[in-house]
Amino acid sequence: MYPCIPYLTNMSVPAPPAVCCDNFRSLVNDDTMDICLCHIITSNPNVTHLIGIINTVRMLFFLFTCDTYVPLQLIFDCFEYFNI
């Protein structure tokens, strides 16, 4: 996900690089990585302080920009897990 950081943290970056979207799709398709995906989706401050502040709006658009489907139930589970 490191190639995605400039796009997710800086509103002046117009689009994520292709490698970013490829890596994100791999993460979404790997069931063992759900907890990592949850940290990214919820912008968990315990993790994001290591990489910068993830812009929540950018994260939402990121799914569409990378044309990636994240199961809705996973998103709900993430927010429930972190009590958000």
| Residue 4 CB neighbours (<10 A) | 24
Spatial distance between the Cα atoms of 66 and 46, rounded to a whole number of angstroms? 25
Delimit the domains of the chain by residue range.
Answer: 2-81
pTM: 0.66
Spatial distance between the Cα atoms of 57 and 73, rounded to a whole number of angstroms? 20
Which ranges of 1-84 does DSSP label H, i.e. alpha helix?
Answer: 5-9, 18-29, 34-41, 45-48, 56-65, 72-81
Contact 69, 33 (CB under 8 A): no
Give 15-48 pLDDT, tens digit per residue. 999 999 998 888 888 877 777 777 766 666 555 4
